[in-house]
Amino acid sequence: MTDDTKPGNADLPEPVVHRPRINASFVWLIPVLAALVGLSLVINAWMQAGPTITISFQSAEGLDPGKTPVKYKNVVIGRVTSVRLSKDRSHVTAKVSLEKSAEGFATEDTRFWVVRPRIGLGGVSGIDTLLSGAFIGADVGESKQPEDEFTGLEAPPAVTHGAPGKTFVLHTDDLGSLDIGSPVYYRRIQVGRVVTYQLDPNGKAVSLQIWVDAPNDQFVTKTSRFWNASGVDVSVGADGVKVNTQSLASVLAGGVAFQEPMGPHETAPADESAAFNLFHDQATAMAPPDGEPKYIRMRFDQSLRGLKVDAPVEFLGIPFGRVVSVNLDFDEKTQKFPVTVGAVVYPQRLGRAHEKLVALAKARGDDAQLSQMMGTLIGQGLRAQARSGNLLTGQLYISLDFVPKAPKAAYDPSVKPLEIPTVPGSFDKLQEQMADIVDKIQKIPFDSIGRNLDQTLGELHRTLKQVNGDVLPEFKTTLQSAQQTMGTANNALSPDSPLQQNLGGTLQELQRSARSLRVLTDYLGSHPDALLRGRKADPAPAPPAATQQGSKP
């Protein structure tokens, strides 16, 4: 070609020919390969991409777009892609792209909640999220209905779907210190927890849903009694102070306990979602059922200081009901301020007495209404009294009692609510009697008594003066003369007195006489003839005294 036209190149070396094994067009394999890799990535991503759902939460705390995972049983099933504030700024909406395998989670009854570290009185949860950051927990339901808008729960659900156990419904007046997750105890063993609670539609009570794990759910029988086991139950009885609580956690965080009642009862396990009453304490829970409450009203004419709402109403000492209202009234006729006391009573608490009364009323042909029976009882003297339950605190309770010699009271069984006639309470009576006594004491004429006493005392004074002036000197002289007399007597009796000497001489004479008499009797004893012949001459000089003596008597 060119080498012919361009001379002067002949001395240049000629290239050698060597055919390559591969064709240059193979280079297009590279972009094809790249495209294949890219395509496989796209297909992979598309295959793995599941549905995108939005979950609304109260706050986005812990939610990190692109990072926060959605986990079910600790397996990542999706990821939060964006977090936005709602249009009305009331909540946040998190967009979550679920994985293909988690398609089943985009159904109606799936629940989502944010797992954060939670430290409550009942325990600590979600500690692992302290380091790894919060994640969204999921719990799938059974529904097949697809859904892509969810409302996230603020707290983890107490029960995961499919867990064995049963839910029950408890009705109560107020929630107390219970909360979602509060424990449920059976014989002080935790067997479940509170799932949700909400006000009844009319706002007058609270309904709690509790969950009891299997196999302990079989212990919830149809007659089980539930009570609020929160706090400490301190009771002072005849045998000392008793402190009763379930566990330390329940003291602080509250809890529910249940037990079957004493005595014969049904042992069949309760059905799912069975409803029970939640009592305030164990004592009321275990008490026999109260039956239907009845409302009664009482009018007291005296002050009821110390009577509080919830004060007990007793029937012959049996707890019968409680006071629900204490209201001041005004009576235009008498210009007085009577107190109207409302109370609810539970006739069934009277037990057998109630049954018999009902039976009796039926037998008599009355209807078994409380009003009818009350009419009979009031006719027999049943009266309401406000009695002092505690002298120290002055607390009152209402006692329904038969008062002997009670004044007749008008009773109208048709009045609603039932009105029970009242009598003043025992304490009031005491007060009246005290007043009477004080009155009587006041009537005693202390003034005149005093005056009379004063006069009497003056007279006494005068008398004493007289005694001092006149009687005493004479008494003195009398005493003096008495003393003289005594002195004389003393002198007369002294050893050296003539009387004494005379007496001594006389006694000696008498002694001598006695001796000569003895000699005589002795001589006469030996010589009885001497009486007739006289005395013989003694051979021996005889004492002359003997003759003298013999002649003497």
Residue 244 token pair: 């009763």
Residue 529 · residue 499 · CB < 8 Å: no
Choices 4-12, 369-377, 389-397, 466-474; region in contact with other proteins by CB under 8 A: 4-12
How far apart (Å, rounded) are the C-alpha atoms in residues 504 and 343? Answer: 113
| CB closer to other proteins out of 38 and 504 | 38
Q: Prior bond to 417 cis, omega within 30?
A: yes
| CB closer to other proteins out of 28 and 330 | 28
How far apart (Å, rounded) are the C-alpha atoms in residues 217 and 197? Answer: 19
Based on its alpha-carbon atoms, the radius of gyration of the chain, rounded to whole angstroms, reads 61
Give how many residues touch other proteins by CB under 8 A. Answer: 34
CB of 103 to other proteins, least distance (A): 24
Q: What is the CA 28 to chain-centroid distance, rounded?
A: 91
Q: Give φ, ψ of 36 to 5 degrees.
A: -65, -45
Q: Interface with other proteins includes 21 (CB under 8 A)?
A: no
Choices 10-18, 406-414, 431-439, 537-545; region in contact with other proteins by CB under 8 A: 10-18
Task: Candidates 14, 239, 310, 538: give the one binding other proteins (CB under 8 A).
Answer: 14
Q: Which residues of 287-308 are buried (b: 16+ CB within 10 A; e: fewer)?
A: beeeeeebebbbebeeebebbe
Q: Interface with other proteins includes 331 (CB under 8 A)?
A: no
Residue 158 · residue 181 · CB < 8 Å: yes
In this structure, the number of other CB atoms found within 10 A of the CB of residue 360 comes to 13
| CB closer to other proteins out of 4 and 239 | 4
CB of 21 to other proteins, least distance (A): 11
Residue type for 360, please? L
| CB closer to other proteins out of 35 and 503 | 35
Choices 125-133, 175-183, 230-238, 486-494; region in contact with other proteins by CB under 8 A: 125-133
| CB closer to other proteins out of 49 and 435 | 49
Where in 24-43 is the site for other proteins (CB under 8 A)? 24-25, 27-28, 30-31, 33-35, 37-38, 41
Q: Interface with other proteins includes 108 (CB under 8 A)?
A: no
Q: Interface with other proteins includes 22 (CB under 8 A)?
A: no
Choices 2-10, 114-122, 331-339, 445-453; region in contact with other proteins by CB under 8 A: 2-10
How far apart (Å, rounded) are the C-alpha atoms in residues 391 and 64? Answer: 66
Residue 273 · residue 169 · CB < 8 Å: yes
Q: Interface with other proteins includes 476 (CB under 8 A)?
A: no
In 24-117, DSSP assigns E strands to 49-57, 69-72, 75-85, 92-99, 111-115
Residue 129 · residue 163 · CB < 8 Å: no
Q: Interface with other proteins includes 131 (CB under 8 A)?
A: yes
Q: Interface with other proteins includes 5 (CB under 8 A)?
A: yes
How far apart (Å, rounded) are the C-alpha atoms in residues 431 and 201? Answer: 50
Helices (H), 97-198: 129-132
Q: Interface with other proteins includes 17 (CB under 8 A)?
A: yes
CB of 128 to other proteins, least distance (A): 9
In 263-394, DSSP assigns E strands to 275-279, 294-300, 312-315, 318-328, 339-345, 382-390
| CB closer to other proteins out of 33 and 482 | 33
Angle at alpha carbon of residue 290, lines to 425 and 210, rounded to 5°: 130
Q: Give φ, ψ of 53 to 5 degrees.
A: -125, 160
Residue 211 · residue 150 · CB < 8 Å: no
Q: HSE (CB half, 13 Å, CA atoms) of 436? A: 6
Q: CB-based contacts of 138: which residues, under 8 Å, 6+ apart?
A: 70, 71, 72, 77, 105, 110, 111, 112
Q: Interface with other proteins includes 393 (CB under 8 A)?
A: no
| CB closer to other proteins out of 21 and 408 | 21
CB of 16 to other proteins, least distance (A): 5
| CB closer to other proteins out of 135 and 397 | 135
Choices 5-13, 55-63, 248-256, 258-266; region in contact with other proteins by CB under 8 A: 5-13
| CB closer to other proteins out of 90 and 132 | 132
| CB closer to other proteins out of 37 and 499 | 37
Q: Interface with other proteins includes 46 (CB under 8 A)?
A: no
Choices 85-93, 100-108, 128-136, 283-291; region in contact with other proteins by CB under 8 A: 128-136
Task: Candidates 43, 48, 61, 67: give the one binding other proteins (CB under 8 A).
Answer: 67
| CB closer to other proteins out of 33 and 268 | 33
- Residues in contact with other proteins by CB under 8 A are 1-3, 5-6, 9-10, 12-20, 24-25, 27-28, 30-31, 33-35, 37-38, 41, 66-67, 130-133
